Chains A and B, each alone.
Chain A
């Protein structure tokens, strides 16, 4: 089941890198993180390696440099880069291979650059370590060239800066320059844009694309976001629970994937155009050690047959270019690619009267210590409506949300009113009814639930504070809110650490709902979750909002999400509102330059779908 036609035949081709039967295990338990990973990359090709958290994609990617994080071990397989057997290399050979033959761009450049060294020094170090060029002058020349390649200035004053004096995008460019320094054959990019804003991300992606094209460098681009690689990768490999489930040309994959997981993953990606409905995948990806015998996707798959749970399917497919590991791939292939009718939250027939106004914040200025970070911001929240608050990091969107929730610890000028009555700045200064009316759901479910409390104790808190319930009534109420967020009441006795990220976020939502609020503030509630889970949470929130009529403020950096959840949108930049209106109007016909730029930079599948029909 391991020998695949792709590697056998690919040898004859212009293949730069081959990976065969790679197996990585946890040491000493021997639980496999990655198993049976086989793929090849051609010269100048960009392969997108896509997977959700804990799918083993980063582990597999760093294995290409024969590197493993502590606690993991490469237990088998073969990695060949341009004729060099990487796993058999001696330590001194490895030093030459890393950076020379294959290089790595990490996710967080700010953490990977040495904060105590000037960037010029760090870049020069690479060239010297690999003996690039014959003289110092030649290396200086190369250094200037490298900086030009990543569109950074190469003057002395810039090279003398320390990493903290650069922006996040500039830091990532420096990291990319370092990776390209010695003209490697292969470059491994590990989610290099995840920490960046969309605008910066778009520029960095463009730089990567140009560099790989002009120098014929092959790249492995690791990401959790299919939309990011949609316009970058030539081929895409999809990983699930440590195994490659499908690998194929980008266009073929987007036009009609052959693995049920790939199909569902595509359906879970929010779409800017609103042409496709958003669908989550029930459940979550299993972590190492919790995988079933056969295909790990079996429990979440609606096409599963008995065989799936016991036997792992081999690589299959008519061509070496497009391979899939599913027993029923031919049936999946026969199904029409599921591009459903547009899902839009209806915005027509909404009345915006003064009576329906729940929260209004007018001409708000807010400060961080003495610095003004919100300038003259006005928003109104109405019953039965969801307002999306969109902006990049530092735009002030979270500050505004926190001001409304009474969590902003500094000065605020301007009235924030709840049904016409002014609210105190601090949540403690507000009445019980006021605190109950506004509930806040935090970005990270890993931080918003007290790890020392059971789910029961967590849900009990709002009930104790706002209602006078008997024990039985409270229990019943808890079961009801859990039911609302599609969780089983058997979770009540658990601790947050025993739940997955998606489940934790559902608990956080349930805590908000338990207070029976009039306004639910959702602050980037999906940014810590996998795409498939994100889609499920968005579906849930949209449904809850429609059912309960709660007014919702949905804070996000992702423009593509808002069509699936909100009727109105406010776009913020630099502490000011640049545009607001109905979602369809703003997205279809943006008036502000900033909104247009944001829309253009948001990764989208539209382009790919357009080319594949």
Chain B
């Protein structure tokens, strides 16, 4: 095209992207880098990695089977059983090493369900506004009115203590809060012109939600996911303490606390170790979520135009 139109000469002019490119390359990537710079993220990740390692590799190194009777009930620690035995004489260390995976697995599953539900509903509410927004958000307010554990207990008492039901109910109890975060972010994004541009082109609603809006709100959702995971761990452990998780004789941290509480004065390790592990894990996930959240705020404040 030979014309009077000024053609930019890429080799001669400095491309803004050359300098910006190092910083650009995906907001999520940048968020990860920034989050890593926050001290608490590192500590949190270390904690989580340790607990997850215990839960995942524990069964491989456990000295006994979790259901094997190795000594007298509530025996104090000894060389054969380093953390003593539980209320019916099983090895506490082995049960701890076997009993983490369920808590972590179920909590993750519940959080993912909550995320899928919440993001889906929040996107629809935030984008469509008006009737759908009102309907969805008010219905979610009803769910929000029930404490998570009560909601789960309600359904478990009606339908029975199925693991899938517990996971589902914990997930559902998370949905309203995740939906609120999603809705608020989606509302802001859906007023940008690129969404209007897609509407004018006639892009299907589903694509507007998932291809135009969703990729722009991943950062706050990531923070929310970390936070919800923390709650999931606490709720799942709590439910199994109440006897609605895995059933005896399975090994599970929450269940162990319940089983052994009668002997806590005699043999504290059977209660204390699972309590500590659950506690430390929630602190770990919470620290990661907090670190990412702080990084997000930092990025939002830091990029306020160049002049």
Give residues in A with beta carbon < 8 Å to B: 53-54, 56, 58-59, 280-284, 286-292, 299-300, 405-407, 427-428, 430, 432, 435, 438-440, 442-444, 447-453, 461-462, 465, 483-484, 486-488, 490, 494-495, 497-500, 503, 508, 511, 515, 536, 539-540, 543
Q: List 10 A-B contacts (CB under 8 A).
A: A282-B6, A283-B9, A290-B18, A291-B14, A300-B13, A465-B202, A490-B10, A500-B16, A503-B8, A508-B197
Q: A427-B200, A465-B202 are in contact. List 19 more A-B contacts (CB 8 A).
A: A59-B307, A280-B6, A282-B6, A283-B12, A284-B13, A290-B18, A407-B196, A407-B200, A427-B199, A435-B202, A439-B200, A443-B193, A448-B197, A461-B203, A490-B10, A497-B20, A500-B16, A536-B6, A543-B5
Give residues in B with beta carbon < 8 Å to A: 1, 3-10, 12-21, 24, 27, 192-194, 196-203, 212, 215-216, 306-307
Q: Is the CB–CB distance between B200 and A486 below 8 Å? A: no
A515 with B19: in contact, given A54-B306, A283-B6, A407-B196 (CB under 8 Å)?
no
Alpha-carbon gap, A442 to B201, bound state (A): 13
Q: Is the CB–CB distance between A448 and B193 below 8 Å? A: yes
B-chain residues with CB within 8 Å of residue A287 when the two chains form the complex: 16, 19, 306
Number of A-B contacts (CB under 8 A): 125
Alpha-carbon gap, A286 to B8, bound state (A): 13
A53 with B307: in contact, given A287-B19, A435-B202 (CB under 8 Å)?
yes
Sorted nearest first, the 8 A-B pairs with minimum C-beta distance are: A498-B17, A282-B6, A452-B215, A448-B193, A442-B193, A447-B193, A450-B194, A435-B202
Alpha-carbon gap, A280 to B6, bound state (A): 8
B210 to chain A, nearest CB (A): 11
Q: Is the CB–CB distance between B3 and A406 below 8 Å? A: no
B-chain residues with CB within 8 Å of residue A286 when the two chains form the complex: 14
A283 with B8: in contact, given A288-B306, A450-B212, A499-B16 (CB under 8 Å)?
yes
Q: Is the CB–CB distance between A447 and B6 below 8 Å? A: no
Q: What residue of chain B has the Cβ atom nearest to residue A462's Cβ?
A: B201
A427 with B6: in contact, given A289-B19, A442-B196, A448-B197 (CB under 8 Å)?
no
Q: Is the CB–CB distance between A282 and B7 below 8 Å? A: yes
Q: Is the CB–CB distance between B200 and A440 below 8 Å? A: yes
A377 to chain B, nearest CB (A): 20
Instruction: Among A432, A497, A508, point to the contact of B202 (Cβ < 8 A).
Output: A432
Q: Is the CB–CB distance between B198 and A290 below 8 Å? A: no
Q: Is the CB–CB distance between B17 and A499 below 8 Å? A: yes
Alpha-carbon gap, A495 to B20, bound state (A): 10
B214 to chain A, nearest CB (A): 9
Alpha-carbon gap, A582 to B200, bound state (A): 30
B-chain residues with CB within 8 Å of residue A451 when the two chains form the complex: 27, 216
Q: What residue of chain B has the Cβ atom nearest to residue A439's Cβ?
A: B200
A528 to chain B, nearest CB (A): 11
Q: Is the CB–CB distance between A483 and B6 below 8 Å? A: no
B206 to chain A, nearest CB (A): 13
A-chain residues with CB within 8 Å of residue B14 when the two chains form the complex: 286, 290-292, 299
A-chain residues with CB within 8 Å of residue B201 when the two chains form the complex: 427, 435, 461-462, 465, 515
Q: Is the CB–CB distance between A428 and B197 below 8 Å? A: no
Instruction: Among A406, A438, A488, A543, point to the contact of B8 (Cβ < 8 A).
Output: A488
Instruction: Among B7, B10, B19, B192, point to the contact of A290 (Cβ < 8 A).
Output: B19
B260 to chain A, nearest CB (A): 51
Alpha-carbon gap, A539 to B7, bound state (A): 12
Instruction: Among B7, B13, B197, B202, point to the contact of A430 (Cβ < 8 A).
Output: B202
A189 to chain B, nearest CB (A): 16
Q: Is the CB–CB distance between B5 and A449 below 8 Å? A: no
